[in-house]
Amino acid sequence: MQHDLFSTNGSFSKISLGEQSAILRGYALPIEQQLLAEVTAIAAQAPWRRLQTPGGKSMSVMTTNSGEFGWHSDSKGYRYEATDPLTAKPWPAMPEVIADLARNAAAELGFSNFKADACLVNCYQPGAQMGLHQDRDEHSLSAPIVSISLGLPARFLWGGMKRSDRPARIELVHGDVVVWGGVDRLRFHGIAKLAGGQHPLLGAQRINLTLRRAGP
């Protein structure tokens, strides 16, 4: 696994994580204010909530969604839902600025015409974390995943194809975008326990937007 800087382009740099995965440092910074405004609007329609794992534990992150499908978890398992179980209404439409950013970021790694139909929005506060997992609830695994980081820095756990593979710990900061797909699509990944701190725009929290193609 290589983590060296291999190219720069304009205001962002690209750091390789694997054959078909990379961090785009600072890629989202030019539209940070628009992204934050859209997150606020999404949460106003589909309020933040703490989901339950199938085993009955409460997740440490707060969650909401936008797009045609929203990721959900409860005693029935992990899955996508076309309507918000909390409000019984469709999820908020995916903002164009978010969809465009995801499509352009995916294209930087050769994934052309990525059209996300699900945007999972997670809010991490100090002490929150996300254990190692694979993203495999989608109908097709051919589309990449695009992850946008805003707010406090976090340690991204980037593992292998087996849960037992020891993950690398890589710092993600405000404005970073991670893209992975192809041969790297099913790598285990997660977020280490978030440290405390204050971000100038978001205070004591980190917002993460994960865009996927959930439907056919």
User: Would 126 be classed as within a structural domain?
Assistant: yes
**189 annotated to a ligand binding site:** yes
For residue 7, name the pLDDT band (cuts at 50, 70, 90): very low
- Tell me if 50 is assigned to a ligand binding site: no
3 domain-assigned: no
Q: Is residue 104 annotated as involved in ligand binding?
A: no
Q: What are the two backbone dihedrals, phi and then psi, of residue 40, each rounded to the nearest 5 degrees?
A: -60, -40
pLDDT band at 11 (very low <50, low <70, confident <90, very high): confident
User: At 115, which CATH number?
Assistant: 2.60.120.590
Q: Reply yes or no on whether the pLDDT at 10 is more than 70.
A: no
27 is in an annotated binding site: no
Q: Which amino acid is at 58?
A: S
Is 174 a known ligand-binding residue? no
Query: DSSP assignment, residue 26?
Result: T
Kindly compute the dihedral angle of the four CA atoms of residues 126, 197, 177, 85, in this order, to the nearest 10 degrees.
30
Q: State yes or no: pLDDT of 6 exceeds 90.
A: no
Q: Is 29 annotated as a binding residue?
A: no
Edge-to-edge strand list for the sheet holding 12-18:
5-9, 12-18, 21-25, 177-180, 145-151, 206-212, 118-124, 62-67
Q: How many domains does the chain have?
A: 1
Give the Cα separation of 210 and 195 in Å (integer).
21
Residue 124 labelled as part of a binding site: yes
Predicted TM-score of the model (pTM): 0.94
211 assigned ligand-binding residue? yes
Task: With respect to residue 207, please indicate whether it lies within any of the assigned structural domains.
Answer: yes
207: pLDDT strictly greater than 50: yes
E runs forming strands in the chain: 5-9, 12-18, 21-25, 62-67, 70-74, 77-81, 118-124, 130-133, 145-151, 154-158, 168-172, 177-180, 189-191, 206-212
Q: Is 98 annotated as a binding residue?
A: no
Tell me if 123 is assigned to a ligand binding site: yes
Asked if residue 88 is part of any domain, the answer here is yes
183: left (phi over 0), alpha (psi -120 to 50) or beta: alpha
Say if 7 falls within a structural domain. Answer: no
User: For the segment 140-197, what is each residue's pLDDT rounded down to a tens digit?
Assistant: 999 999 999 999 999 999 999 999 999 999 999 999 999 999 999 999 999 999 999 9
CB atoms within 10 A of CB 26: 17
Annotated binding-site residue? 83: no
Question: Which range marks the domain in which residue 89 is found?
Answer: 13-212
Each residue's pLDDT tens digit, 77-122:
999 999 999 999 999 999 999 999 999 999 999 999 999 999 999 9
